[in-house]
Structure 1
Amino acid sequence: MKISKTYLRKHRIKLTLLSIGLIWYAFCLPGQLFQEPTSTVVVSVEDKLLGAKIAKDGQWRFPENKEVPEKFKTCLVLFEDEHFYKHPGFNPVSIVKAIQQNREAGKIVRGGSTLTQQVIRLSRKNPKRTYFEKFKEIILATRLEVRASKEEILSLWANNAPFGGNVVGLEAASWRYFNRSPENLSWAESATLAILPNAPTLIYPGKNQEKLRQKRDRLLKKLLENSIIDSLTYQLSIQEEIPPKPYAIPQITPHLLQKISKKHEGQLVKSTVEYHLQNQVNQIIKQHYQQLSQNEIYNAAVLVMDVKTRRILAYVGNTPTTVAHQKDVDIIDKPRSTGSILKPFLYGAMLDNGDILQETLIPDIPTQIGTYKPENFDQEFAGAIPAKKALARSLNIPAVKMLQTFGVDKLHDYLQQMRFTTIQQPADYYGLSLILGGAESNLWDLCKNYASFASTINHYDETLGYYSNEFCEPTYIDNKAVDFGKKQREKNVMNAASMYLTFESLKEVYRPGAGQNWQYFDSSKEVAWKTGTSFGFRDAWAIGTTKDYVVGVWVGNADGEGRPGLVGVHTAAPILFDVFDKLPKSEWFTAPFNEMVDVEVCAKSGYRATDICEEKTSMSISVTGLRSEPCPYHKIVHLDQNEQFLVNTSCESPDDIVQRSWFVLPPVIEHYYQEKHPFYKKLPEFKSTCVNTREESIAFIYPKEQTKIYLPKGLNGEKNDVILKVAHSDGEATLFWYLNDTYLGKTQKFHELSIQPKAGKYTLTVIDESGRELSKRIEIKA
């Protein structure tokens, strides 16, 4: 102990300096050698490159990849540092040779640096070469050898070495010069990249090609001489061409790359996108774009989603159009007018609420509510049509009638529960136009909610229950799983039966004039799908779902310009089914029988059958449908023995009166219904000898609810007549028309009258032969 203290006192200065030196040595190397910004890189679920965004400093520098391919590693070590695995970070023999050559040349012509020293030099931004700088490199190199393994040092070199131009690192160089990943390079390609950092400003693809080839071939010869490759491989390798110029980095999902870079800039992100499917969808969009652009339709977007995992499988934010036509705009999350694409949600909500059944008759007659006048796509009227068929044919007037019955507030509440992010205004702001494109949505939200419907049905089949977070956000990040929440017995928004029955209706979707055997529909694949077209032909939609996949398509112009023919069924639907053709075939949904019940339904009206319904049929409905209204259209009537006339006891013996159930529609509905249904039987007339106790019905078709009428103008700018229409339950009735006290004329059978009065307020009166009177106050606007 005494000797030790004496020794310490005697050598305290040396020991202090030694301690300081050791501490400095321990901390001389920064914890992170490289802090330069890196490119944002997105890969597929199979780890294939989908796209990359250049780093903030303008360099193609991919995020760190710790794996260095064996071919490149072998070439690099043989070319740059043959004793790499043996030295402690520097090679004394190489340093001595470098000093001798530099003396002879009178300048620094050789550095003698090992790969470890090169890593240090790169991390210190390539300072000016001096012997003192070389000494510092050696010290830091030995420290790096202590801290990191040889493989880690090679990885640092491969990720940060310059490869010419604005290319840094092996990963970026491999894609820029050979358009493939490093692990897929040949021996010749690996050798080419191994020699580039030796003089990256002088020799790289596109510059000094012949010198580059000579250096590569010398390295290949060295590989042959060291028995690393055989003679055949050598001969084939030297025949490979040097790439003439850099390739562009692949941009297979450019719009998804934009989205990801906002939150993950400078990172390598593994997405949920399937590489092969994405390429197929890109090709489909490219083909359709070539056709659509001939009609000056330049933009389209497609989203493909896995229902069960809610993962995005393909993401096409736009067509390969030009900058002038906004090719860089990601349409998928941009709000656009919905057209008819929200109709299935109204239909499902009304089933869920017990307001309708699938076959319930919905009025389809000329309608004007205030100044709002919806029209069907074919501009025809069916009088009344089953709700299911109205949805399948995407008829506008029945949809407005349904929404008017259901209530805008209630539908708005349903949509809020489904988390439509762009429907932010109160219900009154949208009014009845909500169901025909008065609101805006985007492809993301629509696909999310169609998938939520499908997933709800699937989960109910598996658990006989629901999940609390069924209407969750999808994901495009591979390691981010969707949380469906906890299992529960209560429904979230709608019950599974209502959703299932909605999809059953959407299997039969077709457009008027196209026929039920729609030309694009592949009957071998059961798909629930819906199209939509916004006002002015600005947006065309098509969204379809199976048990496993949702595909959504939008077509239009990003600047909102409408085009003739920009209709969902003609532009978006063909893309939809081309994409479905690339997806595996799915089984159809399993019916949620625990939430369904069989009931008797009136065959003619689609309402729950009453005792007096003539024809009844059994139908599976949602249990909530038990709350729906019973059939209001069947009445008991009294007929004579031949059933030709209505009678009563004033003209017929009670013993001779025949009681029958009769299907009777309101006069306006009846007026149009009988045109489409020739077997519809109107009520017979009263027998002439009877006292008529029947209340004949008379009603305005136009004007109906509105009181203000605007005189329409023709193409020549002159005002056209207003066509007044009335329906009467007696097909043979004669009607007399008056405007104030002025007699206008009479009509028989078809009660239409043209007028062109001056602007002002009037009383319009219609009287039939029996004295029944119908009046309405109107105001004519010029």
Structure 2
Amino acid sequence: MNKIKKYIAKNKLKSILLLMSLIAYAFCLPEPLFKDPTATVIDSEDGALLGALIADDGQWRFPSNDSVPQKFKECIVHFEDEYFYKHPGFNPISIAKALSENVSSGKVKRGGSTLTQQTIRLARKGKSRTYFEKGIELVMATRLEIRHSKDKILSLYASNAPFGGNVVGLDAAAWRYFGRNTHDLSWAENATLAVLPNAPSLIYPGKNQDRLLKKRNRLLKKLLDKKVIDSLTYELSVLETLPQKPYPIPQLAPHLLQKIARKNKGKRVKTSIKSALQYQTNEVVKNNYNSLKQNEIYNIAVLVLDVKTRKVLSYVGNAPTDKAHQKDVDVIDKARSTGSIMKPFLFTSVLDAGDMLPNTLVADVPTQIAGYNPENFNKEFDGAVSASKALSRSLNVPSVRMLQSFGLDRFYHYLKKLELRDIKYNANHYGLSLILGGAESNLWDLCKTYAAFSSTLNHFNQESSNYYSNEFCEPSFLAEEEIDFGSLSREKTIFDAGSIYLTYESMKEVNRPEEDENWEFFDASKRIAWKTGTSFGFRDAWAIGTTKDYVVGVWVGNADGEGRPGLVGVQAAAPILFDVFDLLPNSRWFSKPYDEMREVPICTKSGYRASELCEETQQRFVQLSGLKTKPCPYHVWVHLDKEEQYQINSSCEPLTNMTNKSWFVLPPLMEYYYQRKNPYYKRLPNFRNDCLGENTLTMDFIYPKTNSKVFLPKDFSGETNEVVFKLAHSQSEATVFWYVDEQFVGSTKGIHDFAVKPKPGKHLITVVDEFGNEAKRRIEIGE
């Protein structure tokens, strides 16, 4: 130590120069060594290439890959640098031989560079091959050997070597020239790639094939001589043909690639996509697109989620259409009119709040609410239908009436909790049309919500009747990202498991597309809770379904919003939904969440909790909150004569002659439509003529609707025709008296259709039956 100090003291200048040299040597290598822009690359969960975006400089240069296949290592080392694993970054013997040959020839004929030196030259952009530049490369090569392992240096070389044209790096070359991953290449293919960086111009299609073939085969012979490969492998390898033209880079998920590139440009990203499923889903979309485009429907989006991991398994942002029809638009996250796709959310909300049981009868009658007139898709009415059937049949009128009864603001509050990002305005902006497509959402958010519903059920049964606090979280398409479901709690996150289960039981009964109409009779059929939606004007067709394990969402339409006849959820989107589900493994049906349900007697006819008057009851499991619902209001106690032909009372018969019976009675307007589709429905008998009738009879207008504006039709001769008013009365043979603006205009009995021709303007229509009951309706006659 003292000697060193003495030397430094005597040789300060030399010491300073030495120190500066050491510092320069230590920092002579830039970090990172290569700064060239790279392509954005996405891989599937199983390592398959899904797609890539070319680098900004127009080169197919994939991000550096530390994994170099053993076959390529053997080929490149035996071709370029047999002593690679032994030298310190340069090979003195090779340099001496190269120097001797170059001096004797009077020009640079041989380089003598090791793979380490070639890596440095690649990083320095192939500067002129002078002896001075060689010296710099040599120094930097020794520094590179100190910084990195031999395998790392080899991976840097393989990732940045030129392979002809605009192909840089082994990974890109394997896909461009052989259409496969580097680890799947044969010995002959690896040998072909190993000789290319030395002469990249040989790869051009149709040119220099003989020279390239000779170089490859010489390398294969060398591998045979060195006993790297056996004779059979050699003989088979030399028979393999050379690549004739570049393959296109796979583009299995182009829209997901664009989405990832926005935040991960120039990186290689491993996604959660399953390559086989992605390929098959693409084929399903392609086949359906070829059919749908005949009807000028050009865009399709499909999303598949894993319920348990909340990972994206397949992502098809659009159909393989053309630029004229927005093929580059990723529809999955675009706002579109929802149609009926959110009806299950309302059904679940009403059940969760305890306002209804799943099979409770709801009115399906002509409805006008503040000028809004919802209609069912088939333009018909059922009078009364169970809420479950209303959902499975996607009836609009019961849904709107259900929303009005439940409360628009109340339902809007639930939707905001679901974080549907495209619902941006307040509840009054949407009104009651909210449930029929008056609001917009996107396929991502809707699938996310259905996945959270399914996961809530799964977790509730798996975690001893507990809920996760972050159940309604964002899905992920990144393989390495872990989903945080939050902490466990006895408190529900948004909806209780019982309400979700009963909603799914209803959705399971949705009729499938026509070609699958007998699905329910096959034991092997998949049980799927699913829903379709069709937006106003036939602009959007939706289908979303879920099993215990998967959620599949489908949107079909035109990205520019053009509507088309036949663009209906069950016809356009549902077949794609079931084609995709056919690609997925079968799932068991959801387990019943017993701790959130109770078995109670239910009135068979009304779906309400059974009262003492309900003659037919069933034991059904209902959600806990449903225990507070009222008992059946539609069964009444009636007094009949002995033949049960007429109603009677004490004014005309003694109590001993009366037959007392429970009777299922609907309100008049519901009854009017209900009995048309339910022939076994028995109307309440009339009172016998000699009995004093009781004021319990009711009636209601069928037409016109409240505060409606009516235009009188004209015939072919130009004469103005009458308008026909319709009334429903609970007493089939009752006489009704009609008044217009308090002026008597006539009476009806049995069938209460009455034709009048009022003058243009506002009028008051009044009806009074023979028992003194009265109903009124205001209308306006247009000119």
Which TM-score tier does this pair reach, normalised by the shorter chain? over 0.9
Structure 2 gaps, min length 5: none
Shift of 1:588: 1.2
SS in 2 for 1:251: coil
Partner of 2:532: 531
Worse-superposed segment, 272-281 or 716-725: 716-725
Shift of 1:620: 1.0
SS in 2 for 1:286: helix
Shift of 1:410: 1.0
> Equivalents in 1 of 2:408, 2:322: separation in Å?
41
Pairwise mapping of residues 609-628 of structure 1 onto structure 2 (< 5 A)? 609-628=610-629
- Is residue 555 of structure 2 the alignment partner of residue 554 of structure 1? yes
> Equivalents in 2 of 1:515, 1:71: separation in Å?
51
Shift of 1:226: 2.5
SS in 1 for 2:252: coil
- Is residue 327 of structure 2 the alignment partner of residue 327 of structure 1? yes
Partner of 1:160: 160
Quick one: structure 1 residues 620 and 275, their matched pair in 2 at CA, closer, same or farther if it must change by over 3 Å?
same
SS in 1 for 2:591: coil
Quick one: structure 1 residues 722 and 171, their matched pair in 2 at CA, closer, same or farther if it must change by over 3 Å?
farther
Partner of 2:355: 355
SS in 1 for 2:530: strand
Partner of 2:234: 234
Structure 1 gaps, min length 5: none
The one-character-per-residue Cα deviations of 1:523-575 (angstroms, maximum 9, x if unpaired) are: 63211111111111111111111111111111111111111111111221111
> Equivalents in 1 of 2:4, 2:404: separation in Å?
100
Worse-superposed segment, 79-88 or 273-282: 79-88
Letter aligned with residue 392 of structure 2 = A
> Are the aligned partners of 1:331 and 1:558 in contact in 2 as well (CA < 8 Å)?
yes
Partner of 2:439: 439
Shift of 1:217: 2.1
Shift of 1:393: 1.0
SS in 1 for 2:781: strand
Partner of 1:570: 571
Partner of 2:670: 669
- Is residue 397 of structure 2 the alignment partner of residue 397 of structure 1? yes
Shift of 1:681: 1.4
Shift of 1:229: 2.3
Letter aligned with residue 64 of structure 1 = S
SS in 1 for 2:536: coil
Worse-superposed segment, 231-240 or 300-309: 231-240
Partner of 1:171: 171
- Is residue 606 of structure 2 the alignment partner of residue 608 of structure 1? no
> Equivalents in 2 of 1:471, 1:717: separation in Å?
62
Pairwise mapping of residues 187-202 of structure 1 onto structure 2 (< 5 A)? 187-201=187-201
Partner of 1:494: 495
Shift of 1:195: 1.2
SS in 1 for 2:122: helix
Letter aligned with residue 492 of structure 1 = T
> Are the aligned partners of 1:39 and 1:54 in contact in 2 as well (CA < 8 Å)?
yes
Worse-superposed segment, 423-432 or 88-97: 88-97
Query: Alignment length, in residue pairs?
Result: 782
Shift of 1:742: 6.8
Quick one: structure 1 residues 388 and 105, their matched pair in 2 at CA, closer, same or farther if it must change by over 3 Å?
same
> Are the aligned partners of 1:196 and 1:204 in contact in 2 as well (CA < 8 Å)?
no
- Is residue 270 of structure 2 the alignment partner of residue 298 of structure 1? no
> Are the aligned partners of 2:706 and 2:778 in contact in 1 as well (CA < 8 Å)?
no
SS in 1 for 2:775: strand
Quick one: structure 1 residues 514 and 411, their matched pair in 2 at CA, closer, same or farther if it must change by over 3 Å?
farther
Quick one: structure 1 residues 515 and 99, their matched pair in 2 at CA, closer, same or farther if it must change by over 3 Å?
closer
Partner of 1:70: 70
> Equivalents in 2 of 1:556, 1:6: separation in Å?
86
- Is residue 318 of structure 2 the alignment partner of residue 318 of structure 1? yes
Quick one: structure 1 residues 770 and 694, their matched pair in 2 at CA, closer, same or farther if it must change by over 3 Å?
closer
> Equivalents in 2 of 1:717, 1:147: separation in Å?
98
Partner of 1:588: 589
SS in 2 for 1:269: strand
Partner of 1:184: 184
> Are the aligned partners of 1:394 and 1:511 in contact in 2 as well (CA < 8 Å)?
no
Shift of 1:744: 5.9
Letter aligned with residue 603 of structure 1 = T
SS in 2 for 1:125: coil
Partner of 2:385: 385
Letter aligned with residue 346 of structure 1 = L
Quick one: structure 1 residues 579 and 562, their matched pair in 2 at CA, closer, same or farther if it must change by over 3 Å?
same
Quick one: structure 1 residues 354 and 717, their matched pair in 2 at CA, closer, same or farther if it must change by over 3 Å?
farther
SS in 2 for 1:476: coil
SS in 1 for 2:682: coil
> Are the aligned partners of 1:542 and 1:554 in contact in 2 as well (CA < 8 Å)?
yes
Partner of 1:679: 680
> Are the aligned partners of 1:640 and 1:646 in contact in 2 as well (CA < 8 Å)?
yes
Partner of 1:120: 120
> Are the aligned partners of 2:712 and 2:782 in contact in 1 as well (CA < 8 Å)?
yes
Letter aligned with residue 681 of structure 1 = K
Letter aligned with residue 393 of structure 2 = R
| Superposition TM-score, scaled by structure 1 size | 0.95
SS in 1 for 2:556: strand
Quick one: structure 1 residues 210 and 723, their matched pair in 2 at CA, closer, same or farther if it must change by over 3 Å?
farther
> Are the aligned partners of 2:513 and 2:575 in contact in 1 as well (CA < 8 Å)?
no
SS in 2 for 1:259: helix
SS in 2 for 1:197: coil
> Are the aligned partners of 1:204 and 1:212 in contact in 2 as well (CA < 8 Å)?
no
The one-character-per-residue Cα deviations of 1:562-604 (angstroms, maximum 9, x if unpaired) are: 1111111122111111211221111111111111111112221
> Are the aligned partners of 1:520 and 1:577 in contact in 2 as well (CA < 8 Å)?
no
Shift of 1:126: 1.5
Partner of 1:92: 92
Shift of 1:655: 2.6
SS in 1 for 2:685: coil
> Are the aligned partners of 2:196 and 2:202 in contact in 1 as well (CA < 8 Å)?
no
> Are the aligned partners of 1:443 and 1:554 in contact in 2 as well (CA < 8 Å)?
yes
> Equivalents in 2 of 1:682, 1:514: separation in Å?
39
